[in-house]
Amino acid sequence: MAAEPAVRRLRVEGHDVGLRTAGAGPGVVLVHGIGASGRYFERLAAELAADHRVHTAELPGHARLRAPGHALTMSGYAAVLVEALRRADVGPVQLVGHSMGCQVVVEAAIQAPELVSSLVLLGPTVNDAERSGPLQALRLGQDTLRESPAVNRIVFSDYLRAGPRWYLTTLPRMIRHRLEERLPLVDCPVALVRGERDPVVPRDWIERLAQARPGTLAGEVPGEPHVMMWRRPAETARWCRRLEAEAEADSEAGR
């Protein structure tokens, strides 16, 4: 029987960060999106924990963690995450972000490259052709109709836990972030993965991101919407393992 995950709450520069840890092996850190929590990573975490040490992060203001006294930018979230990983003695690791979490982990890789072996960006936001609150709300609504009832319950209950005020405070900072400008500054292997039926993250946006950083892997999880890892954890995990193998090969070649 697998051991129960260890749960920690760290206080970092006045901010609360949660870490839920399970498994043994190479390190992986999962970082959720805006208003969400690590709960929608449960199936992916279980899949990866078969041969990895998996840390599921909870960002400040999410998952009933105290909201900061001021709004955090993507770089601000990353700085808190990086310091939490250092205090927990986690790294170097593969960082796996979902949605806004992709923006956070890219900033973390820029700030602390020594802690990051590779980046997997699942459903990376924000599509540069639709950077507005109303358009993002429209796409989220469309996506809801394609998600499973179970993941919708998780996501919307997480939104309620985070609260509309913190969500609406964070949203403009998420939209203003320019992932296509920041991604080329990352100095580790990167994979971009979208659900084939994701209205939030269209295929041409992934293609533009891949063009912005030559050598980046890009692909899709067939038939899935934005939260692709819920119904297809094994296929999503294969992308993580594939990139991990490439990162190890690059490291060996550089020795």
The two tokens of residue 164 are 């509309």
Q: Give the structural domain span for 204.
A: 6-248
The answer to whether the bond into 12 is cis (omega within 30° of 0) is: no
Give per-residue pLDDT as tens, 167-199: 889 999 999 999 999 999 999 999 999 999 999
Give per-residue pLDDT as tens, 128-167: 999 999 999 999 999 999 999 999 999 999 998 888 888 8
34 located within any domain: yes
254 located within any domain: no
DSSP structure string for 108-163: HHHH-GGGEEEEEEES----TT--SHHHHHHHHHHHHTTS-HHHHHHHHHHHHHH-
Answer yes or no: is pLDDT of 2 > 60. no
Give per-residue pLDDT as tens, 54-81: 999 999 988 777 777 788 999 999 999 9
Q: State the pLDDT confidence band at 246, using cuts at 50, 70 and 90.
A: confident
255 located within any domain: no
Percent of residues, the chain, with pLDDT higher than 90: 82
Answer yes or no: is pLDDT of 252 > 80. no
Answer yes or no: is pLDDT of 234 > 60. yes
Q: How many domains are contained in the chain?
A: 1
Q: Are 133 and 175 in contact (CB under 8 A)?
A: yes
CATH number at residue 109: 3.40.50.1820
182 located within any domain: yes
Question: What would the mean pLDDT of 99-116 be, rounded to a whole number?
Answer: 98
68 located within any domain: yes
Give per-residue pLDDT as tens, 5-32: 787 888 888 889 999 999 999 999 999 9
Give per-residue pLDDT as tens, 80-91: 999 999 999 998
The two tokens of residue 204 are 């041409």
CB atoms within 10 A of CB 23: 21
Please give the mean pLDDT across all residues of the chain.
Answer: 93
Which secondary-structure segment (H or E) carries 171? helix 164-176
229 located within any domain: yes
204 located within any domain: yes
Integer Cα distance of 247 and 154 in angstroms: 33
The two tokens of residue 211 are 């063009």
Its pTM stands at 0.94
Give, in order, the Cα–Cα distances in Å from 214 to each of 97, 187, 222.
20, 12, 24
Q: What pLDDT was estimated at residue 6?
A: 83
Q: Are 22 and 45 in contact (CB under 8 A)?
A: yes
Q: What pLDDT was estimated at residue 1?
A: 44
Q: State the pLDDT confidence band at 251, using cuts at 50, 70 and 90.
A: low
